[in-house]
Structure 1
Amino acid sequence: MDRFKEVKEALREAWLSESSTAQHESAYQVFVDFVKQNQTNVALFVLFVSLAIRQIVSKNREAAKKGANRQFLEAPDFPEVETLENFDWKKEDTVKLRAFKPKFHLTMDFSDESAIQNLNPSELITMDRTYSDRIAYRKRIIRESGDVCIGVNDDKRVGPAVRELYTFLLGTYLPKRFPNMFKLHYASFETGTQFMFENLITKQVFPAQPAQVTSTRILLQTLGSIVDEDFLFLLPEEDSEDPKYTLEAYVCICPSGWNPPDKLGRRLAAIHGPVPGYADKLEGSMDRYFKSLEVGKYVRRSNWSITQHEELFSPDPNTNHGKADSEEKALTEVDPGKTFLRTERQTLHRLPSSKAIVFAFKTYMDTLRDIKLEGLGDDLADAIDGLKTGNAPAMNVYKRGPVWGEAVKGYLRS
């Protein structure tokens, strides 16, 4: 019986080495009772159970290394992500971006509220009560206008970057940041085991680590149908003594007055060609900033404009932007429930492996009535006046101020 006692204690330690839960204690007691009643088969049974335990422990350790026990994949090259344990997206209000100021300035100054500011990496993606409706909208635009809202210039160069962001967002960021909205599953298939990402809101499931044969366009399409952010991937030119950053891929569901395919493969300067004052005031500093942006540094900024429609997908350059020779007549009045302050929450960071820069933005729409109810009518009206008095006065025409300016200000100040 001394030998039996030694075997029993050894097995107990092996069994409880991974966990000491009540469930395992109960299983252990069942085993002890069985052994007492069947001592003639103890040796074979102990051997069988020991081998089974060893196999289970090995598999558990393998899964733990990959992150299965934590419900997200480890991403040591990315910043740590803080979890929102009790986050309820249905109760979360949309972000209120109110970066308008009495004078409009094109600047890279960190002290300027409308310019670049440091961003907590955990706040890269935002969620709110509009999520379900917005995702349904994005899926519809992708179905109807996929050739416009998804683009890839050089798949060989940008493919690894898209794959890197995809794996981080689906495998790590989303299930860890919003565990009540997204979940990771460790699944077994004939081809092996892998992690599957489940969107608990839409009930869709995608591979968290995509196969190498999955096209870059499919990865972009998936990203565009999971989060309400648009992503643009930029890489430095090759074979150049002074390489500039060019747009190599994008998923863009909410362009405002610009056509994404027209920007693909072009430098920052060409992309911002229509923006008044960019060449004189921002081109050099933007190029330097992109070159010097370090891995692990996340930044944000916001912008604003006024639109007379609520369509998020607006790729027509004539929709939201004006020209100096435009013959449009000035409006005498506007409908405050159908005229919108359109804002973008923009973020910028560099991917650690591919070194690509990801420019992302989320678009918000608030009616003029909402702005006035917030008590910010005079502030926005002053900012509209300030379009003409800042360091880029042509911005007033670019934003179509001569068309809607006086009518909007009249309502806001009434």
Structure 2
Amino acid sequence: MEKTDSHSWLQALGLEQHDSKQNVILRYLHDNQISVAMFVFFVVMAIRSLVSRQRDAAKTGANRHYLEAPSFPEIDGLDKFDWKTEDPIKLRTFKPKYYLTMAIQNLDPSELLTMDRTYVERVKYRSKIIAESSDICIRVHDDARIRPAVIELYTYLLSHYLPKRFPQMFKLHYASFETGNQFMLENLVTKQVFATEPTNVTPTETLLKTLGMTVDEDFLFLLTEEGAESSDPKYVFQALVCICPSGWDPREKIGQSLASIHAPVPGYADKLESSMDRYFKNIEVGKYVKRSNWAITQHEELFMPDPNSNHAKQDEQVEAVTEIDPDKTFLRCERQTLHRLPKSKALVFAFKTYMDTMRDIKLEGLGDDLADAIDGLRTGNVPAMSHYKRSPVWGQAVKEYLRS
């Protein structure tokens, strides 16, 4: 009777049942020691791996959503920037008289690249041109010095500039890749993902292609002539990704000096060559500059590698048009930038192309100003610029529309 009472009492307290559960667990652990040990091992390794990755990420700055780039100037992030509502920049640098000068202005390094509401349309167009005409728009000269320069700009833009400057559009991830764990840049707009550091076997052309599909700027890399020991070295175009050439073929410019590239431009040899060479030689790391140009074209295509499309040779006979379509005749402007890379010391010349119709210009109230600037092509310091820009073809018809 006492034993039964004691048993009932233990049941009432739940201790006997609890002890039974413990025994079951102990027997399971004893019978499955290897499985349990393996489970614990993998859990521990997973935790260690996670902690290690977090530690590595913190060391490299990924905890702030971008990697550090101490060799480059400090830039400001646009935390509240809305690219979907941002209008394209309006470049209105035309003047009553055309003077061929460098017209360089200082540039805030934060403003190296620009983004606006045309981004999706533009990168789709750029990807299409690259897919169809990569042999024209992506070129690399046979010079071993150029690959480190391309890698330097590529790594800087993808790991630092883009995720820091435009965090609403680009995001950095620390993830597994074909070469192991590394940082990847996700384009939040196009959903593309690219490694921020190329492997040794990644072709230089592939890096240029990625840049061409990711931003709306074209990049041209310049280095001094290979083996040149002159105190006044000449700079040569060594690599480029150029989706928006305006009347020039990138295939003909690669490996050429500044003087050779600008040979068709009236007045360049007399007005600009020496000052351009001197400026390119002396521009220091950390110095960023910009300038802009303008032209009028009856082509709406951005990709215009045909040298005869927007320019006329000195002795070329051209025929004037009697009228224009104001929605298919464009003011074509380039926002050009220049800076020197800190490690490779290569110069990076970049430009973004903007297109505005004649109707847009007139609606802005600038019709008379642009018409005066067209007349001014003949009255500046290089009168031949009027023929070079094909003004005799469209000039009179455009002026009549703008002044009407």
Q: Partner of 2:270: helix, strand, or coil?
A: helix
2 CA distance for matches of 1:388 and 1:333? 21
> In the alignment, which residue of structure 1 is the partner of 2:291?
301
Q: Partner of 1:86: helix, strand, or coil?
A: coil
1:121 aligns with 2:109: yes
1:156 aligns with 2:150: no
> In the alignment, which residue of structure 2 is the partner of 1:199?
187
> In the alignment, which residue of structure 2 is the partner of 1:238?
226
1:394 aligns with 2:388: no
Give, as a single letter, the amino acid of the residue that structure 2 aligns with 1:330: A
Q: Partner of 1:156: helix, strand, or coil?
A: coil
Name which of 48, 54, 70 aligns with 2:64.
70
State the Cα distance separating 1:188 from its structure 2 match: 3.0
State the Cα distance separating 1:204 from its structure 2 match: 0.5
> In the alignment, which residue of structure 1 is the partner of 2:93?
99
Q: Partner of 2:149: helix, strand, or coil?
A: helix
Query: Where do residues 8-407 of structure 1 align in structure 2 (5 Å cutoff)?
Result: 59-108=53-102, 115-189=103-177, 191-240=179-228, 241=230, 242-407=232-397
State the Cα distance separating 1:249 from its structure 2 match: 0.2
State the Cα distance separating 1:126 from its structure 2 match: 0.4
Q: Partner of 1:352: helix, strand, or coil?
A: coil
2 CA distance for matches of 1:343 and 1:51? 57
State the Cα distance separating 1:323 from its structure 2 match: 2.3
Q: Which moved more, 1:229-238 or 1:239-248?
A: 239-248
1 CA distance for matches of 2:375 and 2:235? 34
* TM-score, L = length of structure 1: 0.84
> In the alignment, which residue of structure 2 is the partner of 1:22?
none
State the Cα distance separating 1:328 from its structure 2 match: 2.2
Please tell me the root mean square deviation across aligned C-alpha atoms, in Å: 1.8
Inter-CA distance 129–52: structure 2 relative to 1 (3 Å threshold): closer
- Larger Rg: 1 or 2? 2
* TM-score, L = length of structure 2: 0.86
1 CA distance for matches of 2:356 and 2:378? 23
State the Cα distance separating 1:59 from its structure 2 match: 4.4
2 CA distance for matches of 1:117 and 1:54? 52
2 CA distance for matches of 1:408 and 1:53? 70
Inter-CA distance 134–90: structure 2 relative to 1 (3 Å threshold): same
State the Cα distance separating 1:155 from its structure 2 match: 4.6
State the Cα distance separating 1:331 from its structure 2 match: 1.4
2 CA distance for matches of 1:55 and 1:359? 42
Give, as a single letter, the amino acid of the residue that structure 2 aligns with 1:374: E
8 Å contact kept, 1:322–1:397: yes
1 CA distance for matches of 2:62 and 2:314? 58
Give, as a single letter, the amino acid of the residue that structure 1 aligns with 2:227: D
1 CA distance for matches of 2:49 and 2:135? 50
> In the TM superposition, what whole-angstrom CA distance separates every residue of 1:171-191 from its partner, at most 9, and x where no partner exists?
000000000000000113574
Inter-CA distance 399–185: structure 2 relative to 1 (3 Å threshold): same
Inter-CA distance 50–214: structure 2 relative to 1 (3 Å threshold): closer
Q: Partner of 1:393: helix, strand, or coil?
A: coil
8 Å contact kept, 2:233–2:281: no
> In the alignment, which residue of structure 1 is the partner of 2:24?
none
1 CA distance for matches of 2:143 and 2:190? 29
Inter-CA distance 188–370: structure 2 relative to 1 (3 Å threshold): same
State the Cα distance separating 1:62 from its structure 2 match: 2.4
State the Cα distance separating 1:327 from its structure 2 match: 2.5
8 Å contact kept, 2:172–2:184: yes
State the Cα distance separating 1:139 from its structure 2 match: 0.5
Q: Partner of 1:266: helix, strand, or coil?
A: coil
2 CA distance for matches of 1:133 and 1:168? 25
> In the TM superposition, what whole-angstrom CA distance separates every residue of 1:344-387 from its partner, at most 9, and x where no partner exists?
00000000000000000000100000000000001101111110
> In the TM superposition, what whole-angstrom CA distance separates every residue of 1:266-285 from its partner, at most 9, and x where no partner exists?
10000000000000010000
Identity %: 72
Give, as a single letter, the amino acid of the residue that structure 2 aligns with 1:216: T
> In the alignment, which residue of structure 2 is the partner of 1:40?
none
In structure 2, stretches of 5+ residues that fail to align are 1-40
State the Cα distance separating 1:220 from its structure 2 match: 0.3
State the Cα distance separating 1:119 from its structure 2 match: 0.4
8 Å contact kept, 2:247–2:310: yes
> In the TM superposition, what whole-angstrom CA distance separates every residue of 1:242-297 from its partner, at most 9, and x where no partner exists?
32000000000000000011011010000000000000010000000000000000
Q: Partner of 2:328: helix, strand, or coil?
A: coil
8 Å contact kept, 1:246–1:267: yes
Inter-CA distance 191–277: structure 2 relative to 1 (3 Å threshold): closer
State the Cα distance separating 1:55 from its structure 2 match: 7.5
Give, as a single letter, the amino acid of the residue that structure 2 aligns with 1:335: D
8 Å contact kept, 1:155–1:216: no
